[in-house]
A and B are shown apart, each in its own frame.
Chain A
Amino acid sequence: MATSWVSPPTRTELIEDLVSGVDRYNPSNVSILEDYLYHQIRSQEYDCLANLAILKLRSPRHRSPDFNLCISLLDERSINANLDEPDPLPSLLPTLKHLADLLYRCRFPAFWEVYQSDELEGLRDNYTVECVGFEDAVREVVIRAVKATFTRISADRLASYLDLSGSELAAFVEKKQWKMDANVVSIPPNPDNQIEATVVQENIKLAQLTKVIAHGACN
């Protein structure tokens, strides 16, 4: 997972060169990277390092004080970081930051409430609509948290986390190949929702004993 994050398979050679060398600081390359970002948004790809390079190039021109806040969004790898367009940034950023924070703190119902509110209509209509699969990407964040924490979860609770109900929820659950039974959704076992009490025993490596053994061999 981390490997594909450092160097996504979808990254082209041209971009790789730009991202790795001193060329990334050459302002004339920013348009190439921005085209790439646009492509990512369209085809649901994500290349964090390339996007950071854009921010770096952009920041001198707009003197964005929020460069690091953008990083904070990118670091959380929530998909809405892809929204970074510098111009409306100062007004949008606090909202985005707030949304990212809600996601980070697993306040999913609150997230949807804010996101679907009338005040953010502009955000939805102008930006997130451009970002293909934005809402599904948020749902993936939810799924990650739910999968790790629950073995079974009530359908109502899941619905409020995903902002889905009725047939949509049923379809979503089916797509995940989870089982819904009497209003309770069972989540298949995974490394994070299996718990076991263990006693960790110490594990002695041969290297630790070399001196003792060497001494024994000398006598």
Chain B
Amino acid sequence: MAQPRVALWAAEADDMDDDLQDMSLGNYGQNGHYDDTFFQQPQIDEATLMAMQQHMAQQAAFAQIPDVVKGFIVHFHQAVLENNLPEITIAYESGWNKYTEKFYSRTEWPEAEIIAPLVNDELYYRHVYSRLQPNIDDRFHSYENSCELFNYLLNSEGPVQLELPEQWLWDIIDEFIYQFQVFCTWRSKVKSKTDDELLMLAEGGPVWSSYSVLNVLYSLIQKSKINEYIVAHQAGKTPEEIAEIVGEYGVRPLYRHLGYFSIVGLLRVHVLLGDFTLALKVMENVELNQKSPYTRVTACTVATYYYVGFCYIMLRRYPDAIRTFVSILNWIMRMRQYHTRSYQYDQISKTADRMYALFAICNALSPSRLDDNIANISKERYGEQFAKMARGQEDAVPAFKELFLYACPKFISANPPPYDDAAALSALLAPASPDPSSPEYETSLADPAQRHLNLLLSDVVAYTPVPTLRSFLKLYTSLGAKKLANFLDADEEEMVQQLMVMKQASRSVTHVSGGKGLLDGQTASTSDLNFVIDENMVHIAESTVGRRYAGWFIKNTERTQKLYDDLKHQPLPPAPKNAVASTPAAAVVADAKVAKTAPKVAWGGVKAA
């Protein structure tokens, strides 16, 4: 049952190769690194620079900014003003990071106000969060700044005439949620707060409240009519029809991109808050295949698959989780040669690493042979834990724990500690719960990750006897229940109940092709070992997978074809003096033409491997 899906999936993955590689070429500012020499060229507006400098001359702080940085900021600002997308992209993806490395890796960029006419505040606070320890003022201001930006976008009269690179738009949403998450984590630690901070938090009101963050994301989705756009797009409507449907905001790439990234942002926020069903529900209209135009924003694609896969784990749909991780991990591997140049490379490989860990968890709970390559890499990295998890003995639980806590998202509590209620706060700070019957209450309030871990572990504990049972069943085609119980040194009735668990563990709701939405699915068998109990006799049947030759043959046929073509197009050896035959030469020319139009051979991952 599961096998045909495998082939289908693999086939799809191969289709994706070309599209993805082509698209990715335009990404990451391939036009090269942001170049200082650019400023020395006469067409750069020296006058603007001078004017700006004079205007700011009184401010000593401004004077301390290295000239090259000032130049960068002016240039950047101009590009934004002129909606010059390629320039913005290069400046953003390469320049910003370059100067951050060079001048500001240990300090803050100049105050946003000092360079206010020059640079977007958003970048300033992002830098503060990623490189430095933000103080509470930074945290509050970054919230206000984000709100201002979103207010500007959402509540101006009519759509804002601004073009920004997709990558940057993704980073804005991503960073907004990241800062929200960091703030919540920081807020949940009551003990380490100073009095000032406590006071500000008590009066903080809606600053970084879940409701306001969700409101921004929902508003962006509504304003951009992105869901309507996706549905219309899938229905194959013409661009004119789509423009009609999505309205004046939706037609602008800025809003459309922000809308899409907000959907992914919602997915993430819902996961962080622990609502996995809803997280998948918001992705309802998004087709999770790698032909989506948004695969160009690598970080977005990786995040989407990570959170979707994680949701499937928490909904106990392990085969779906495996499918999700396999697809994105293969993609990351193929894309490696491109995104090593990306400033997000670190982030992407960290996420990939966590997905290998999650994959190991899924594979232990629901063994599959969907992709041996990914399975092997996962085993290389987490072999020790995987062995423990798959064996299902006592040491399985700590192994699950370790990998889960390493790989899970940074969960947050939706509800702040009661900063506005001094009595409740001191009660919370008081050591040891007065009610010994609910020790879970205290720990779980402190650490949402622990709660989600328990959710997984309840499943793990139910499954731990399965591997042993399985290893016995594999040896027989039929076997008395009593005899089996004797082998296991277990009570017969107890073992029969365990067999029912095993039966249910081998069934899972699985997404089927053509199914609508990520939550949709049908029950499918996930195990190659099937059994049934006839009163007191267990009958067992095993499905085996025939050897697979096709992939190997196809791959090698394509290689040979390429080799043959290359050979044929080698320049001919110097012709012997009087052998001037016109026909072979003509044939070579004709062949050369063909070679130009023929697609390049790129069987899955050969080049990237």
A198 sits at the interface (CB 8 A): yes
Q: Does B540 contact A146, Cβ atoms closer than 8 Å? A: no
Q: Does B448 contact A203, Cβ atoms closer than 8 Å? A: no
A69 sits at the interface (CB 8 A): yes
B482 CB to closest chain A CB, in angstroms?
A: 13
Residue-wise, chain A 194-219 has the 8 Å CB interface mask toward B (1 for contact) of 11111111111101110110110011
Q: Does B451 contact A184, Cβ atoms closer than 8 Å? A: no
Q: Which residues of B contact A207 (CB under 8 A)?
A: 11, 14-15
Residue-wise, chain A 3-35 has the 8 Å CB interface mask toward B (1 for contact) of 101100000000000001110010000000000
Assuming the A-B contacts A106-B497, A107-B497, A195-B530, are A148 and B504 also in contact, with contact meaning beta carbons closer than 8 angstroms in the complex?
Answer: yes
Q: Does A106 contact B532, Cβ atoms closer than 8 Å? A: no
Residue-wise, chain B 510-541 has the 8 Å CB interface mask toward A (1 for contact) of 00000011011111010000111111100111
Q: Which residues of B contact A40 (CB under 8 A)?
A: none
Q: Which residues of A contact B215 (CB under 8 A)?
A: 22, 25
Contact of A215 among B274, B437, B451, B598 (CB under 8 A): B598
Q: Looking at the complex, which of A58-66, A112-120, A121-129 is the stretch in contact with chain B?
A: A58-66
Within 8 A of A (CB), among B72-121: none
Residue-wise, chain A 141-176 has the 8 Å CB interface mask toward B (1 for contact) of 000011011111110010000000000000000000
Within 8 A of B (CB), among A77-92: 90-91
Assuming the A-B contacts A67-B274, A218-B594, are A106 and B500 also in contact, with contact meaning beta carbons closer than 8 angstroms in the complex?
Answer: yes
Q: Does B522 contact A202, Cβ atoms closer than 8 Å? A: no
B507 sits at the interface (CB 8 A): yes
Bound together, the chains give a CA A32 to CA B417 distance in angstroms of 28
Contact of A211 among B415, B519, B542, B558 (CB under 8 A): B558
A52 sits at the interface (CB 8 A): yes
* Range of interface residues on A (Cβ < 8 Å): 35 or more
Bound together, the chains give a CA A203 to CA B211 distance in angstroms of 50
Bound together, the chains give a CA A66 to CA B517 distance in angstroms of 28
Assuming the A-B contacts A3-B520, A152-B535, A199-B544, are A68 and B452 also in contact, with contact meaning beta carbons closer than 8 angstroms in the complex?
Answer: yes
Q: Which residues of B contact A212 (CB under 8 A)?
A: 554, 557-558, 561
A28 CB to closest chain B CB, in angstroms?
A: 13
A180 sits at the interface (CB 8 A): no
**Binding site of A, secondary structure by majority: helix, strand, loop or mixed?**
helix
A149 CB to closest chain B CB, in angstroms?
A: 5
Q: Which residues of A contact B414 (CB under 8 A)?
A: 56, 59-60, 67
Bound together, the chains give a CA A52 to CA B282 distance in angstroms of 14
Q: Which residues of B contact A46 (CB under 8 A)?
A: none
Q: Does A104 contact B543, Cβ atoms closer than 8 Å? A: no
Q: Does A106 contact B549, Cβ atoms closer than 8 Å? A: no
Q: Which residues of A contact B458 (CB under 8 A)?
A: 72, 101, 104
Closest chain B residue to A5, Cβ basis: B519
B550 sits at the interface (CB 8 A): yes
A48 sits at the interface (CB 8 A): yes
Q: Does B533 contact A150, Cβ atoms closer than 8 Å? A: yes
Q: Which residues of A contact B422 (CB under 8 A)?
A: none
Q: Does A68 contact B448, Cβ atoms closer than 8 Å? A: yes
Within 8 A of A (CB), among B206-237: 210-211, 214-215, 218-219
Assuming the A-B contacts A2-B519, A105-B501, A199-B545, are A154 and B535 also in contact, with contact meaning beta carbons closer than 8 angstroms in the complex?
Answer: yes
Q: Does B535 contact A208, Cβ atoms closer than 8 Å? A: no
A108 sits at the interface (CB 8 A): yes
Q: Does A200 contact B544, Cβ atoms closer than 8 Å? A: yes
Q: Which residues of B contact A204 (CB under 8 A)?
A: 7, 550
Q: Does B498 contact A106, Cβ atoms closer than 8 Å? A: yes
Closest chain A residue to B270, Cβ basis: A56
Within 8 A of A (CB), among B412-463: 414-415, 418, 437-438, 440-441, 444-445, 448, 451-452, 454-455, 458, 462
B315 sits at the interface (CB 8 A): yes
19 further A-B contacts with Cβ under 8 Å, apart from A6-B281, A67-B274, A68-B455, are A1-B523, A22-B218, A22-B219, A49-B281, A56-B278, A60-B415, A63-B415, A65-B451, A91-B437, A94-B440, A101-B462, A108-B497, A148-B503, A151-B534, A192-B525, A198-B541, A202-B550, A204-B7, A209-B554
Binding site for B on A (CB under 8 A): 1-3, 5-6, 20-22, 25, 48-49, 52, 56, 59-60, 63, 65-69, 71-72, 75, 90-91, 94, 101, 104-109, 145-146, 148-154, 157, 184, 192-205, 207-209, 211-212, 214-215, 218-219
The 9 closest A-B pairs by CB, nearest first: A22-B218, A106-B500, A200-B3, A195-B541, A197-B541, A195-B530, A65-B444, A145-B500, A205-B11
